[in-house]
Amino acid sequence: MNLEAQRRFVRWCEKIAAALTQLASEMKTELETDADDPLALHIRDARARYRSTAASDNHKGQKQTTQELNRSFMAARRLHFLGSFESWALLMRSGHPSEIVVR
């Protein structure tokens, strides 16, 4: 690796470090904002429970996972989640819903 390639590598590393610092700052701000939002807290907790249940559900029909999804969806509806069940399922599976509707 020549000197110019090393310099370019150092510049990339500096850019990555700056981006990670900015990302951490933005995430901290979001977490502090979400602390006041009951639906956001429920989404975070429900995703953790869903992932845990899905990982341990060895049954062919994934009955426990489906039940957890239904329970968390009903609780989200009580917290004013207005999206469809499919949207909720997508949110639980990937964290990137096609729509999140709250009032």
C-alpha distance from residue 53 to each of 39, 60, 74 (Å): 20, 14, 17
* pLDDT per residue as tens digits for the range 63-98: 888 999 999 999 999 999 999 999 999 999 886 554
Instruction: Tell me the C-alpha distance between 87 and 66, whole Å.
Output: 14
pLDDT for 11 beyond 60: yes
At residue 60, the 3 state secondary structure works out as coil
pLDDT at 96: 52
DSSP-derived letter for residue 35 is: T
Prediction pTM value = 0.59
* pLDDT per residue as tens digits for the range 17-68: 999 999 988 888 877 766 678 888 899 899 999 999 988 888 777 888 899 9
* CA quadruple 78, 91, 64, 51: dihedral, nearest 10: -120
Instruction: Tell me the C-alpha distance between 24 and 27, whole Å.
Output: 5
